[in-house]
Amino acid sequence: MPKKLAKLNKVLFTNLIFTIKSKISPKIILDDGYNNQELIDFIIKKNNLYSLDLNDTSQIPLSAIRTLLPFAVGNFSNTVTVLDVGGGEGIIIMKPNLHLKLRFLIGPF
């Protein structure tokens, strides 16, 4: 990935993570890397929603932007109950502060 884009992504992720932390303070574990320019463009358009925190050097991979998007744009309380339809690139979002009370994974696939 070009350096400029990587830097931009990092900033966008940082912003997104910051927003989510400020809303629901999750501990987030993600796997897999993923890039998606249109999703990133969307985040850029919505950039006024996010506070900038360049000090956060989170190593969360690019797939985060897709996974975390609903948490940034949705209006959640500090207890979120998620139904995750199995498949796709895995995410695990659990405890301690997010209080995802139940995360159902359904299948079979």
Burial class (CB in 10 A: 0-12, 13-18, 19+), 57: exposed
Per-residue binding string, another protein, 1-40, x by CB under 8 A, is: ------------------------------xx---x-xx-
Span near another protein by CB under 8 A; candidates 1-9, 10-18, 48-56, 63-71: 63-71
**Contact call for residue 47 and another protein (CB under 8 A):** no
- 4 in helix, strand or coil? helix
Structure tokens at 58: 């989170």
Q: Rank residues 2 and 38 by Cβ distance to another protein and give the closer one.
A: 38
At 41 the three-state DSSP class reads helix
Which one, 10 or 76, has the nearer CB to another protein? 76
- Binding residue for another protein (CB under 8 A) from 9, 14, 19, 67? 67
Alpha carbon of 75 to those of 24, 37, 62, 91, 94: distances in Å? 10, 25, 23, 20, 18
Site size toward another protein (CB under 8 A) is 40
Using CB under 8 A as the binding rule, whether residue 48 contacts another protein is answered as no
